[in-house]
């Protein structure tokens, strides 16, 4: 089958490296992007996506042939009908992922190769987990979420920065809490299922886009309608009624408006949410926008600590449910 709509364009205004680790084919006709930047971690799943942006190439590609070489092991070969591939490293060292874009006659039209290092799981975290297991009192919490945040996403939330800098690390703390909460609410398999459903809704209409966007998606559970409010060509800033019944009705109307946006805009929103790096980046942008609109001039340290955390509560609620029309 030809390249899917969701892999025919990169989000407007973004470079491939803003989505993950990337390598481009000659002439930038195609680009391979890894969810996780090097180094990968042993026994932790990673996903690769090929975008084909050249018009003549995207219509000629029929299949994707992947070759995975880990250290000096015999290469593994697998074909996929779409430009997505999942790989779990097995041993410390390095890996090379090669993908050939094949036409109907299995001739290679382009080849992309990405090399990454492989390391063991974070030793400091594993030590903390072991220590907490042998001590009385509360432990680390959800161990799989802790491992995901530290081993996979740590470079992403550490790099998130305010568009208007301020003193203190309150902003990073807030963003980390949103990443952690999103990962806790939606485990990786469930998260990927929702992304696959959104992709199906955009590519061939086999899923209901309006229903799927009633909840957030990706590692930080970003609401697509809220993301559309802070990106060019999206939606106007829209506050929903606080009363539950009225809010649900207004939210569905908002999602209908979202569904009526230009197809390329919806695909861009999906890809911003899809990749952990851009998902976490735009989580930070949304949180900053909410702070600026509802608590302007308040440092994020004060958002977290002041008024018994009331401001942090409202920002989190607006993030999860959408901006609300507060009556008091």
Q: Beta strand pairing status for 46-52 and 40-41?
A: unpaired
pLDDT reading at 134 higher than 70: no
Q: What is the pLDDT of residue 27?
A: 87
Q: What is the pLDDT of residue 138?
A: 44
SS (H, E, C) the chain: CCCCHHHCCCCCCCCHHHCCEEEECHHHCEEEEECCCCCEECCCCEEEEEEECCHHHHHHCCEEEEEEEECCCCCEEEEECCCEEEECCCCCEEEEEEEEEECCCCCEEEEEEEEEEEECCCHHHHHHHHHHHCCCCCCCCCHHHHHHHHHHHHHHHHHCCCCCCCCCCHHHHHHHHHHHHHHHHCCHHHHHHHHHHHHHHHHCCCCCHHHHCCCCECCCCECHHHHHHCCCCCCCCCCEECCHHHHHHHHHHHHHHHHCCCHHHHHHHHHHHHCHHHHHHHHHHHHHHHHHHHCCCCCHHHHHHHHHHHHHHHHHHHHHHCCEECCC
**Spatial contact of 149 and 215, defined as CB atoms under 8 Å apart:** no
Residue 65 makes CB contacts below 8 A (sequence gap 6+) with 77, 78, 79, 99, 100, 102, 108
315: confidence class by pLDDT, cuts 50, 70, 90: very high
**Spatial contact of 250 and 324, defined as CB atoms under 8 Å apart:** no
Q: What is the pLDDT of residue 137?
A: 46
CATH placement of domain 5-119 = 2.60.40.10
Lowest mean pLDDT among 77-86, 272-281, 287-296, 303-312: 303-312
303: confidence class by pLDDT, cuts 50, 70, 90: very high
Q: Which of 8, 128, 132, 93 lies closest to 59, judged by CA? A: 8
pLDDT reading at 135 higher than 70: no
pLDDT reading at 55 higher than 60: yes
Q: What is the pLDDT of residue 1?
A: 59
Residue 33 tokens, joined: 């992007």
Query: What average pLDDT is seen over the chain?
Result: 94
Residue 211 makes CB contacts below 8 A (sequence gap 6+) with none
Q: What is the pLDDT of residue 82?
A: 95
Question: pLDDT per residue over 273-302, tens digit each?
Answer: 999 999 999 999 999 999 999 999 999 999
pLDDT reading at 132 higher than 60: yes
Q: Which of 8, 86, 7, 35 lies closest to 218, judged by CA? A: 35
CA end-to-end span of the chain: 55
Burial class from Cβ neighbours inside 10 Å (0-12, 13-18, 19+) for residue 27 reads exposed
Q: Which residue has the tokens 């945040």?
A: 149
Question: pLDDT per residue over 151-206, tens digit each?
Answer: 999 999 999 999 999 999 999 999 999 999 999 999 999 999 999 999 999 999 99
130: confidence class by pLDDT, cuts 50, 70, 90: confident
Q: Where are the domains of the chain?
A: 5-119, 121-328
Q: What is the pLDDT of residue 328?
A: 54
Residue 22 tokens, joined: 């990337």
Number of residues assigned to the chain: 328
In this predicted model, which residue has the larger pLDDT, 214 or 128? 214
141: confidence class by pLDDT, cuts 50, 70, 90: low
pLDDT reading at 263 higher than 80: yes
Share of the chain above pLDDT 90, in %: 89
Residue 283 has φ and ψ, to the nearest 5°, of -60, -45
Q: What is the pLDDT of residue 33?
A: 98
């Amino acid at each position: 089958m030809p390249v899917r709509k969701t892999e025919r364009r990169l989000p407007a205004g973004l470079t491939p490296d803003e989505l993950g680790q990337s390598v481009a084919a000659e002439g930038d006709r195609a680009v391979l992007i890894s969810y996780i930047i090097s180094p990968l971690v042993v026994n932790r799943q990673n996903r690769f996506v090929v975008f084909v942006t050249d018009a003549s190439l995207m219509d000629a590609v029929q299949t994707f042939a992947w070759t995975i070489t880990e250290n000096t092991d015999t290469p593994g070969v697998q074909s996929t009908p779409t430009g997505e591939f999942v790989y779990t490293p097995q041993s410390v060292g390095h890996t090379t992922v090669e993908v050939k874009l094949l036409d109907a006659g299995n001739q290679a039209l382009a080849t992309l190769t990405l090399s990454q290092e492989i390391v063991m799981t974070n030793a400091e975290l594993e030590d903390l987990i072991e220590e907490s297991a042998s001590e009385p009192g509360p432990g680390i919490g959800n161990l799989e979420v802790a491992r995901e945040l530290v081993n996979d996403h740590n470079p992403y939330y550490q790099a998130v920065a305010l568009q208007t800098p301020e003193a203190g690390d309150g902003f990073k703390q807030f963003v980390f809490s949103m990443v952690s909460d999103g990962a806790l609410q939606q485990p990786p398999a469930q998260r990927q299922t929702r992304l696959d459903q959104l992709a199906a809704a955009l590519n061939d209409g086999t899923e209901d886009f309006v229903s799927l966007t009633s909840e957030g998606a990706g590692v930080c559970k970003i609401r697509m309608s809220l993301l559309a409010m802070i990106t060019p060509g999206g939606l106007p800033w829209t506050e929903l009624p606080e009363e539950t019944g009225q809010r649900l009705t207004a939210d569905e109307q908002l999602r209908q408006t979202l569904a009526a946006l230009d197809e390329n805009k919806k695909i861009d929103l999906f890809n911003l949410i899809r990749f952990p790096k851009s998902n976490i980046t735009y989580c930070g942008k949304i949180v900053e926008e909410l702070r600026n609109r509802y608590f302007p001039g308040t440092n994020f340290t004060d958002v977290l600590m002041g008024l018994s955390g009331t401001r942090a509560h409202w920002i989190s609620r607006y993030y999860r449910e959408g901006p609300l029309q507060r009556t008091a």
